[in-house]
Amino acid sequence: MVSNRKKKYSTGEGAQFISRKAALKKLQLSLNDFRRLCIIKGIYPREPRNRKRAQKGVPGIKMLYHIKDIQFLMHEPIIWKLREYKIFNRKVGRAKAVKDFKAMRRYLENHPTLKLDHIVKERYPSFIDALRDLDDCLTLCFLFSTFPSLPHIPRSQSDLCRRLTMEFLHAIIEAKALRKVFISIKGYYYQAEIKGQTITWIVPHHFSFEPQSKAEVDFKIMSTFVEFYTIMLGFVNFRLYHTLNLFYPPKFAIMDNPNEGEKALADENIFVAERVAALNIPLSKTVLGGEEETEIDNFDMGENAEATEEARKEIESIKVLKTLFNGMKFYLNREVPREPLVFIIRCFGGEVSWDKSLFIGATFAETDESITHQIVDRPSMEKKYISRYYIQPQWIFDCVNTRNLLPVSKYFMGEILPPHLSPFVDKERDESYVPPEERALYDQDAVEQMHKEESEDESDNVEDLNEETEVDVKMLEDNNKLKLGVKAGEIEKEAPWVKKREERQEYKLREKMIKKKHRNLYKSMMNAKRERGKEAWLLNKKRKLHDQKEKVKNKSKKKLTIKQIIIQLFFIYLFQSLVSIFFIRNNQI
């Protein structure tokens, strides 16, 4: 009799996963080609629920892929191109070994080319899908745009990254889509909003490149990612430029002349100067059209009235942000990082320039009287103009994050700057310490509260007077009540402790309803919440002690200044009296 019993690992996780070694054997590819194909197609290893079943009882930890992903790769035409590359390398190697240079030249002229256009369309069917996955693409392309020639990175790839990133920055400037900025140790964080999608990327600081002594980073794998990301970013730029009525591709002087570009790229400072100069020049448009303004329809939302009001406030703040630096002229000193400042100021309607004798692309000189702000990063300057503010670069970043022009007094040249806070932190984070400077960013009432805390001493006297008047009023009311025969009815109020007790009981009942498999996770979450609460309490206590010490120091300084003024006045009076006595004696003589 034939039994219908199934074989072990023929169903379930044993049949759903496949090891990397088995996948290589099935696809007949080398490890490098398999890695490249997986990166391009967006296929990654999977983590099974039960590793023992997925590995068919084999001990150890293996790299596992889903069987459907490998079957999906089997129908990819790129596999045949990779095999053609393998044959091409073999032919070129054989011709080189035999010294048949004529055949080798013929092979090199007809080398196979790998096209990834269909992969971009396959992975991102719509433009919105591409925008959602643009964060890593931009970060890696901006990183590669700063690289010199490296063993596993072709020079053409770095040049292409430089061009594509410049095109994207110009699109953000024309669309005025920048929303948040932040300076960190890693670099400059930017966040833009395009078609309702938030895109965040990092631009590294411009330092001289230092090669690594150890091979800690696999540049070959990173280069494979960039190979796909450059095609993707090219399509995104093309679509953005056409939606903004701009010519594509834009013309940049250094990139249109390849011979001059190679000479300029030999000197990194020349290239950076050219790149910043390109950012300061507006692009030519195909059709002059006005910007589309988003409006909210006035419907009776009922319960969602608060949400619509918040959306309306957000739209109004974005309108103010887009024209934040309109009518302002900024002049940058030589010690200031020019590229981020030029990009940010131009995104919000400002004009920028610098010393034309040091860098190319300047639009006006330092002697221009219409300059409103000069950005410096030094303690003092010899020559100053009365008609402008001399401020530090942080003022630009903080104004963008607060969506308002901050007072310049705290950012003057040589002043100790306020803390530069990250705008990417969640406003409503649970059981965590929020410094008062950060609260002031999101809530203007916090600033007033800080002013009130400074004037506590003055308000104490007023409170005492109010308490005395309240006691007098109560005594009068009691006397009137004794005279009257009718008593007013009292409203029965629910005791607050009863309500709290009921809430605690309901909370405990909800905790009992948690399933067993989720109970340990819930306990760990609550423990983490308690730890965050303790840390926030400690930090608040430290901040209060610090503020008290600062108040004592300020009071002592004020007392010293008053004493000094009194002493100075006393000496002036003494000097005047002595002089008067001297003149009186001389007149008598």
Nearest to 33 by CA among 216, 224, 227, 218: 224
pLDDT number for residue 314? 82
**In this structure, are residues 349 and 323 in contact, taking their beta carbons and an 8 Å threshold?**
yes
Question: Looking at the structure, do residues 100 and 201 belong to the same domain, yes or no?
Answer: no
Question: Domain for residue 239, yes or no?
Answer: yes
Does 124 share its domain with 246? yes
CB 158 within 8 A of CB 324: no
Tokens of 478: 């009691």
Cα–Cα distance measured from residue 477 to residue 44, given in angstroms and rounded to the nearest whole number: 79
Same domain, 40 and 132: no
Instruction: Kindly state whether residues 130 and 245 are assigned to the same domain.
Output: yes
Task: Determine the pLDDT at residue 254.
Answer: 47
Do 158 and 202 lie in one domain? The reply is: yes
**Higher pLDDT, residue 472 or 124:** 124
> pLDDT digits over 412-446, tens only?
988 888 888 888 887 666 667 777 777 766 665 65
Locus of tokens 């889509």: 177
Q: How far is CA 67 from CA 59, 74, 376, in A?
A: 20, 11, 60
Confidence of residue 154 (pLDDT cuts 50, 70, 90): confident
Cβ distance 231 to 117 under 8 Å? yes
Of the ranges 53-57, 281-285, 509-513, which one carries the lowest mean pLDDT score? 281-285
Note the pLDDT of residue 465. Answer: 40
Q: Which of 57, 92, 109 is the last residue of a domain?
A: 109
**Is residue 439 in some structural domain?**
no
The Cα 540–Cα 442 span in angstroms is 19
Coil, helix or strand at residue 108 = helix
- Asked if residue 48 and residue 188 are part of one domain, the reply reads no
Residue 338 is assigned to a structural domain of this protein: yes
Q: Given a cut of 60, is residue 561 above it in pLDDT?
A: yes
pLDDT reading at 483 higher than 50: no
Q: How many domains are there within the chain?
A: 3
Query: For residue 241, is it within any domain?
Result: yes
Which range marks the domain in which residue 197 is found?
117-207+219-279
Q: Report the interhelical angle of 67-74 vs 20-27 (nearest 10°).
A: 20
Q: Which of 383, 416, 449 is the last residue of a domain?
A: 416
The least confident of 16-20, 284-288, 319-323, 519-523 is 284-288
121 and 101 part of one domain: no
**Domain closes at, from 363, 397, 416:** 416
Q: What are 434's two structure tokens?
A: 């929020």
Distance CA 337, CA 207 (A): 11
Claim to verify: residue 266 and residue 357 sit in the same structural domain: no
Shared domain for 271 and 202, answered yes or no, is yes
Please tell me which of 183-192, 242-251, 317-326 the model is most confident about, judged by mean pLDDT.
183-192
Output the pLDDT for position 457. 46
Q: Does any domain span residue 307? A: no
CATH number at residue 333: 3.40.50.10190
pLDDT band with cut points at 50, 70 and 90 for residue 578: confident
Chain centroid to CA 171: how far? 18
CA distances from 14 to 21, 51, 79, 177, 562 (A): 15, 9, 27, 49, 84
* Cα separation, 587 vs 589, whole angstroms: 5
pLDDT digits (tens, 9 = 90+) for 99-138: 888 889 998 888 888 888 899 999 999 999 999 999 999 9
- Residue 358 maps to a domain: yes
Collect all residues with Cβ–Cβ distance below 8 Å to 466 and sequence separation of at least 6.
none
What are the tokens at 516? 């067993």
Residue 225 has pLDDT above 90, yes or no: yes
SS (H, E, C) 11-37: CCHHHHEEEHHHHHHHHCCCHHHHHHH
What is the full DSSP assignment across 417-460? Answer: PPP---TTS-TT-TT----HHHHHHH-HHHHHHHHHHHTHHHHH
The residue ranking higher by pLDDT, 374 or 454, is: 374
Can you tell me the distance from the alpha carbon of 258 to that of 254, in angstroms, rounded to the nearest whole number? 7
Q: Omega before 249 cis (within 30°)?
A: yes
Each residue's pLDDT tens digit, 7-34: 888 888 888 999 999 999 999 999 999 9
Q: Categorize the per-residue pLDDT at 340 as very low, low, confident or very high, splitting at 50, 70 and 90.
A: very high
Q: What is the pLDDT of residue 514?
A: 87
Task: Say how far apart CA 226 and CA 33 lie, in whole Å.
Answer: 16
Q: Is 532 within the bounds of a domain? A: no
Note whether 272 and 347 are same-domain residues.
no
Tell me how far apart the alpha carbons of residues 156 and 144 are, in angstroms, rounded to a whole number.
Answer: 11
Q: Are residues 105 and 127 in the same domain?
A: no
Q: What is the pLDDT of residues 68-103, one digit of tens each?
A: 999 999 888 889 888 888 899 999 999 989 988 888
Q: Is residue 292 part of a domain?
A: no
Task: Look up residue 246 and give its DSSP letter.
Answer: B
Dihedral sign (CA 505, 510, 516, 517): negative
23 and 54 in a single domain? The answer is yes
Residues 6+ apart with CB under 8 A from 122: none
In this predicted model, which residue has the larger pLDDT, 463 or 344? 344
Q: Which residue has the higher pLDDT, 468 or 161?
A: 161
Mean pLDDT confidence for 241-262: 69
Q: Are 93 and 81 in contact (CB under 8 A)?
A: no
Compute the Cα dihedral for 258, 261, 265, 267 and give only its sign.
Answer: positive
Asked if residue 177 has pLDDT above 70, the reply is yes
